Amino acid sequence: MNLVRKQRYQLDSDDEALEVFARGEAILNEPLLNKGTAFSLKERNELGLRGLVPPKVTKIEEQVERVLENYRRKTDPLEKFIFLTSLHDRNETLYYRVLMDNLMEMTPIVYTPVVGAACQQFGHIYRKNRGMYLSMEDKGHIREMFDNWKQDEVDIIVISDGSRILGLGDLGANGMGIPIGKLALYVAGGGIFPCKTLPILLDAGTNNQELLDDPLYLGLNQKRGDEDEYYALVDEFVNAVQDKWPKALIQWEDFTNNHAFPLLNKYREKVLCFNDDIQGTGAVALSGLLGGMRMKGEKLADQRIVFYGAGSAAVGIADMIVAGIVEESGMTDAEARKLFWLIDSQGLVVKNGPRALQAHKVPYARDEKLIDNLLDVIKMIKPTILIGVSGQGQAFSKEIIQEMFKYVKQPIIFSLSNPTSKSECTAEQAYKWTKGKAIFASGSPFDPVRLNGKIYVPGQGNNMFIFPGVGLGASLCQASKITDGMFYTAAKALAEMVTEEELALGTVYPDLSKIRKISATIATGICEMAFAAGLAGIEEPPDIHKFVKDKMYQPVYPKYAAADR
């Protein structure tokens, strides 16, 4: 199907009509063009749609009402996910209108925690292709494969190799649910145009035997293999993107530690890219801690911080907090790192442990003896902040939290592993075991907790607070690269948007329903930094914030007119 001005799929309803070459069912089968029963009589006549849709012309508000009625009949979260996916596949504008109007209700379905279950069942619930799959069998052909994609203009690519999906491990090609979900949040939360997004799954095989034995698994039926071949495939992908869509931002998503850091370090200075698990998670966690410091009236430099987990997310968070401490106190990086204790599967990360350390852990290795369990570390360190990024559900036991509570009046407990089943403790446990004194945040959402006549609203350290705004800003100003300073700026901006009323309820993050305002604010800050540093590829507009807001996608049906053939 050919379209005139493809980059302008979505227009204000009062703008000129969009010319289309497609007619009849071809339009109804294209989710970016389909309006269902909202096609006007004029459009139905010109585009060959008469008789193909019911005679009543409806407004999008009526369509939303019909969608919600059917959606809310479903009680199983995975069935709700499938329902929304089907809507996404047939009418993109209506999907985003429904999602944006009901963001608090539907974000946990579209992304964490339900997307985890959807990825586990991906081959069994697969309906229609969305995005592109690049496998080890495609070596030497990726650039020509990109010509198969229907859009000539791409702003944001989210790519995963499926090797570390949330806290669920290696899901191989089933991990495609993550790039699809992340890009849905980019559109709903950050205003990226849906036709300018591209989810990609890099299929290098899977070491998950259960998937390899599943006849409905849709990925390569082979184990992950040679590292040199893997990196060569990634390099071919990056080069092909630079040739086909040189302005596109690449977001690395859910790669294992042994690949996440090398890929980020290899490409971050060469192309516009970032790793959300490392940099985005770090910025969100730092923002939450800044909120916690506001509650306690303390400074980051006065804290003792224990991490349970020492992977890419943990080190990304730690690096961002170090940047915050340096900014706040004037300490050096080395001095700030002395406030951190990381625990991996062997125990406390130390310099002279039983195994050689992975490179990303080395800066945080201690000169102390190995302690092989969290409880003894808590007893020795007496931390003020405990952050869980282990993927080990219920790792923060009552004994551990109450031991911490002995030494700290308001312990900060961030249980950040996803999905909910992998959370180190629940909000209710954290509040109950500290008599309501804990400052708690989690990776997946928990309901408010009533305890001793008071309601506590747990914060959700959702990366959606950060990555849509960062991606929007970097894309709009055509930045040449994304710096750690940009993520630090995003974290501070997010922390400043938490109201005193929200802090009083115990939450360290703003209401997610304000995500569009949050993303516009963060994107403005990213653009300002890029212009100041000479990293922007466009001329600086007179009013950056207005420039950002004016460029954000709105789910409004455009007018159509048949094009001359």
- Please state the rounded mean pLDDT for residues 287-301: 96
pLDDT in tens, 508-525: 999 999 999 999 999 999
Strand partners, 157: 198, 250
Specify whether 243 is located in the same domain as 305: no
216 by Cβ neighbours in 10 Å (0-12 / 13-18 / 19+) ranks as exposed
pLDDT of 353 strictly over 90: no
CATH code of the domain in which 299 resides: 3.40.50.720
Specify whether 316 is located in the same domain as 427: yes
Specify whether 365 is located in the same domain as 490: yes
Whether residue 43 lies inside any domain: the answer is no
Whether residue 125 lies inside any domain: the answer is yes
Residue 222 token pair: 């082979």
pLDDT confidence of 352, banded at 50, 70, 90?
confident
SS3 (DSSP) at 217: coil
Whether residue 482 lies inside any domain: the answer is yes
Specify whether 230 is located in the same domain as 333: no
Q: Quote the pLDDT of residue 565.
A: 58
pLDDT of 2 strictly over 70: no
CATH code of the domain in which 212 resides: 3.40.50.10380
Q: Quote the pLDDT of residue 3.
A: 40
pLDDT confidence of 8, banded at 50, 70, 90?
very low
Whether residue 553 lies inside any domain: the answer is no
Q: Return d(Cα 512, Cα 105) in angstroms, integer.
A: 11
What is the chain's alpha carbon radius of gyration, rounded to the nearest angstrom?
24
pLDDT of 15 strictly over 80: no
- Percent of the chain at pLDDT > 70 equals 97
Specify whether 69 is located in the same domain as 150: yes
Specify whether 235 is located in the same domain as 382: no
Residue 271 token pair: 């192309």
- Separation in Å, CA 163 to CA 216, 257, 400: 19, 10, 31
- How far is CA 306 from its chain centroid? 24
Specify whether 375 is located in the same domain as 429: yes
pLDDT of 7 strictly over 60: no
Catalytic site positions: 111, 182
Whether residue 52 lies inside any domain: the answer is no
- Structural domain boundaries enclosing 387: 286-534
Number of structural domains found in the chain: 2
Q: Quote the pLDDT of residue 75.
A: 96
Specify whether 246 is located in the same domain as 290: no
Q: Return d(Cα 185, Cα 162) in angstroms, integer.
A: 19
Specify whether 247 is located in the same domain as 378: no
pLDDT in tens, 367-394: 999 999 999 999 999 999 999 999 999 9
Strand partners, 449: 456
Q: Quote the pLDDT of residue 236.
A: 98
pLDDT confidence of 541, banded at 50, 70, 90?
very high
- The number of helix segments (H) and strand segments (E) in the chain equals 24, 16
Specify whether 98 is located in the same domain as 230: yes
Q: Return d(Cα 92, Cα 48) in angstroms, integer.
A: 21
Whether residue 92 lies inside any domain: the answer is yes
pLDDT confidence of 447, banded at 50, 70, 90?
very high
- Please state the rounded mean pLDDT for residues 150-177: 95
Specify whether 230 is located in the same domain as 325: no
pLDDT of 11 strictly over 50: no
- Percent of the chain at pLDDT > 90 equals 90
CA atoms 1, 188, 93, 178: torsion sign: positive
Whether residue 311 lies inside any domain: the answer is yes
- Report the mean per-residue pLDDT for the chain: 94
Whether residue 554 lies inside any domain: the answer is no
Whole-prediction pTM: 0.92
Q: In the sheet that 305-308 helps form, which strands lie side by side, from edge to edge? A: 347-348, 340-344, 305-308, 385-388, 412-415, 439-442, 459-460
Specify whether 345 is located in the same domain as 292: yes
Q: Are strands 385-388 and 449-451 parallel, antiparallel or unpaired?
A: unpaired
pLDDT in tens, 213-266: 999 999 999 999 999 999 999 999 999 999 999 999 999 999 998 999 999 999
pLDDT in tens, 401-439: 999 999 999 999 999 998 889 999 999 999 999 999 999
